[in-house]
Structure 1
Amino acid sequence: MPITITEQNLRLLIDTLVKAGTRVVGPKAAGTMTLYEPLSAGEELNLGGLPRRSAKETFFPLCETILTYEREKEGVRVTDVDPGSVPETLLIGARPCDAAAAPVLDAVFSWDYKDEFFLERRRKTTIIGLACTRADDACFCTAVGLSPADTRGSDLFLTPLKDGGYRCDAITGKGEALLAAHAALFADGDGTPAPLAEPSPGAMDLDKIRGWLDTHFEDPLWEEIAERCAGCGACAFLCPACHCFDIVDEGGEAKGARRKSWDACGFGKFTNHASGHNPRDVQPQRYRNRIMHKFKYYVDKFDQRLCTGCGRCIRACPVGIDIAAVLEEINSKGVE
């Protein structure tokens, strides 16, 4: 029997969890924007559209301290930050393009080195995904193998119903546990799903694109695109799947902290060596790496694409570079 929840009870679920001490993160109005932010009450939940920034900050903060140091008479005291101190978290209202990025990131953060800061947040986070009923010209999830109702990465998935409320589908054990713990807020029942969004463009031949990239490390296309690229990093910082970071010590001789902060392969000094040599010293090489990483290198390594088609990079690019249009152009070329 299908399970449903009303809009009122969805917000009551947030109130209940917040009172119990759970950190609840969801779309929230912030001036003229909607952002994934901690919610203090169910009434703050804003499901009107895709938040401007992605949900990856829930597990991968923009900046985080991983240890502190302080000079003492006997020497230097170094204190590690305990990854286990992160709270139980519910991420609610995650759109499919955001939820699907979580398992994509899992691969790199648990590969040759296990990043316990990221992995502990993932372990302690339950994701409630939400199907999309509208899309704009920048949305292209269907082009990269996803859909407005894709459940990948979600523990519990909500589908809006025509007459209000949501159908609830438990995808994982976490989702089943959430339903069981708050059974009084859910009800047996069914309903007609609201019409889903129809992103454009449609599906592309991603294997064909990967094949072209295999043989076009050097190609005039990179120069053509990068003539406009400002190297601002907005695309990477808004992307739900980009994950580059830097680690620096901040402070002075007496005390300070080692911190992990986001970085971006589009920045001019991203690959700058201590010797002064920079193997990607011009923007065409940096933009090529962005496309290669998302649609070839990550696929080669983890059999997953590093893009979920959210379109944030398209909306935010100050010079109008459209990654979906780039993929369409490559898709039209074929493997030579």
Structure 2
Amino acid sequence: MPKIITDQNLRLLIDTLVGEGKRVIGPKAAGTLTLYEPLASAEELSLGELPRRSAKETFFPLCENILTYEKSSSGTTVHDIDPARFPETVLIGARPCDVAAAPVLDAIFSWDFKDEFFLERRRKTTIIGLACTTADDACFCTAVGLSPADTRGSDLFLTPLAGGSYRCDVISDKGEALLAAHAGLFAETDTAEPVSLAEPQLGPLDLDRIKAWLDTHFEDPLWEEIAARCAGCGACAFLCPACHCFDISDEGSEKQGARRKHWDACGFGKFTYHASGHNPREVQPHRYRNRIMHKFKYYHDKFGQRLCTGCGRCIRACPVGIDIAQIIDDINRK
């Protein structure tokens, strides 16, 4: 049975969680932008718009140490980073296009190697999703099989109600546990109607048809046509909630330093550069082709799901106006 929570009690929940020592992440105003950031109090919560960057940083930081080292006259000491020290976290107010990417990332980080850094953060994070009531001309979640009220990946899910409260649906055991621990802030559902949800401009596409085209068009003039504009800047990958490429490098001096894991992007010219000097994707058309193939063919071949949730961030940020929604729509019409 769904519960309801008032906006006042939602903010009291945040302050309570912070007081309990939990890390609370939510949309927060940062200058002219809204970002998913740690909240010091409920006053910092800003639910008005989709954050500029995705929520994947909650589990997959832009850069993190995986070990540190120190060298002295007596030898070299290596200090491993212990994932058990990661804090209990509540991600609150995350939009469906961000939340739906979390189980997509689960597949890659627990496949042939279990990435304990990612998996421990996921295990310790409870996600409170929030339905979208607005959409701009870059939103296309409905085109890739999601919706503004999609609950996949959430533990609790909030739907705005007329009058300012939220209907709260329990999606998982973690969500049930959080609600039970703070039951006094929730009430039985009433007759309040949900507010109108967002309506992205691009409706459902035939994703199987798109994949079938990609299966047979590894070589196609389309890739040259698109990549003629692509600057290879990587903004699309860094803002995407589902992109997950990373590199590992050693930084520091002879005496001390760290081995660091940091984001990378398949659109960068040196992403596939071999030590031999060979680069199997030496030109931008090959790199952009890989982006589309990975999202709508390769990932599906491996894990049975798409690597795109239709958030539209890549469209908004692209400095040369490449529109991935238009690309897959065009493929769908072929």
CA contact (8 A) 2:245 2:266 kept: yes
TM, length-normalised to structure 2 = 0.99
What are the superposed Cα offsets for residues 135-162 of structure 1, whole Å, 9 maximum, x if unpaired?
Answer: 0000000000000000000000000001
- Where do 1:226-305 residues align within 5 Å? 226-305=227-306
- Corresponding residue for 1:154? 154
The number of aligned residues is 333
**1:95 and 2:91 equivalent?**
no
Q: Which residue of 2 aligns with 1:13?
A: 13
User: Could you say what secondary structure the match of 1:67 adopts?
Assistant: strand
Provide the C-alpha distance between the structure 2 equivalents of 1:206 and 1:266, rounded to a whole number of angstroms.
Answer: 23
Question: What is the CA RMSD across the aligned residues, in angstroms?
Answer: 0.6
Could you report, residue by residue, the CA deviation over 1:96-127 in whole angstroms, capped at 9, with x for unpaired residues? 00000000000000000000000000000000
Aligned to 2:65: 65
Q: Which amino acid aligns with 1:138?
A: A
1:23-47 C-alpha deviation (Å, 9 max, x unpaired): 0000000000000000000111000
> Is the counterpart of residue 34 in structure 1 residue 34 in structure 2?
yes
CA shift, 1:189, in A, is: 2.2
Counterpart residue type for residue 48 of structure 1: G
- CA drift of 1:76 comes to 1.2
Partner of 1:120: 120
Q: Tell me how far 1:70 sits from its aligned partner.
A: 1.0
Q: Distance in 2 between matches of 1:194 and 1:49?
A: 16
Deviation at 1:236, TM superposition (A): 0.1
Structure 2 equivalent of residue 186 of structure 1: 186
SS in 2 for 1:43: helix
Cα distance in 1 for residues equivalent to 2:2 and 2:179? 12
Tell me which residue corresponds to 1:201: 202
- Name the SS of the counterpart of 2:40 in structure 1: coil
Q: Which runs of 5+ in 2 are unaligned?
A: none
Distance in 2 between residues matched to 1:13 and 1:314, nearest whole Å: 34
Deviation by residue 1:8-64 (Cα, 9 ceiling, x = unmatched): 000000000001100000000000000000000011100001000000000000000
* Local SS of the residue matching 1:148: coil
Q: Distance in 2 between matches of 1:184 and 1:76?
A: 54
Answer whether contact 2:139 2:200 (CA < 8 A) is retained. yes
Q: Distance in 1 between matches of 2:186 and 2:233?
A: 45
Report deviation, 1:75.
2.0
Query: For each residue in 1:194-238, what CA deviation from the matched residue of structure 2 results, as whole angstroms up to 9, or x when unmatched?
Result: 111000210000000000000000000000000000000000000
Per-residue CA deviation, residues 152-201 of structure 1 (Å, 9 max, x unaligned), is 00000000001211000000000100110000100012220011100021
Which residue identity is paired with 1:171?
Answer: I
Amino acid at match of 1:116: E
d(CA) in 2 for partners of 1:101, 1:17: 24
2:120, 2:299 → 1: CA distance?
A: 23
Instruction: Give the corresponding residue for 1:219.
Output: 220
| Cα distance between partner residues in 2 of 1:132 and 1:220 | 37
Indicate the residue corresponding to 2:134 in structure 1: 134
Question: How many percent of aligned residue pairs carry the same amino acid?
Answer: 80
Find the residue that maps to 1:143 and give its secondary structure. helix
Aligned 8 A contact 2:2 2:170 in 1: no
Query: Which residue in 2 is equivalent to 1:166?
Result: 166
CA-CA distance at 1:74 after TM superposition: 3.0
TM-score, with length taken from structure 1: 0.98
- In the alignment, which residue of structure 1 is the partner of 2:109? 109
Matched residue, 1:79: 79
1:176 aligned partner, one-letter code: E
Structure 2 CA distance for aligned equivalents of residues 115 and 189 of structure 1 = 40
SS in 1 for 2:328: helix
Q: Note the C-alpha offset of 1:294.
A: 0.3
Alignment partner, residue 3 of structure 2: 3
Distance 2:274 2:116 in 1: 27
Gaps of 5+ in 1: none
3-state DSSP class of the match of 2:151? Answer: coil
